Structure 1
């Protein structure tokens, strides 16, 4: 089964819904060729019947695409962010090294804190069991030979 199919099945089983609202982004390069421009969306990932607030983020697609963000793609990225955070044991220096960011920079800490908040929101929305399933699903796709524990 492909990652997108697995994520789509997971999303269906969890009752996840995606809402996408297009945004105008500023500042931007108004002279950039259309092929290099991205359309920005505020996306909200919700769960049917859940009292938890949605997981919200800005998601980008090529401006030349006619499609809005897809649920499987958004889920892939939020799962990836949470998975990297988990793999780094929520240690900012380890997390920063994954991206090549200097750990002492304020911007690094800000991005790390955003990742922590987004991961916590995703975990609250999904619940512990489904969050663990999502991490296993994502991990199996990006790291098919994880270290033995």
Structure 2
């Protein structure tokens, strides 16, 4: 067993000790980040103005996807985990909509393209983090059993 697998086992053990806390943390962060980082203004002409938002988006959702893999919700079923993530993101987007209700920016932000692009970005980055760390966890747990 190499160092990465040993580290994966230690992290899994620590997360399982406080599983409820980390599940609440995971979904609270998904809701908060989807509320705060929406929309990703890719279609804006001033791309550099929102560059920090894109960096935070990537830097936040990849580790959240990895944490989802470590929590092993629904016994590692990928589609159920995507369902959990999309439900949390839906709550976050709903909160953002209610925060901006009645403003002109709400009509500009909540276009179909912005919503689909945001959800696609979350699926790509959180899913990538989930899938990359899922392999490590499966390998580490198989080594532990044998």
Higher strand residue share: 1
Q: Which has the larger radius of gyration?
A: 2
* TM-score of the two chains, using structure 2 as the length reference: 0.30
| Higher-helix-fraction structure | 2
Question: What TM-score does the superposition give when structure 1 sets the normalisation length?
Answer: 0.29
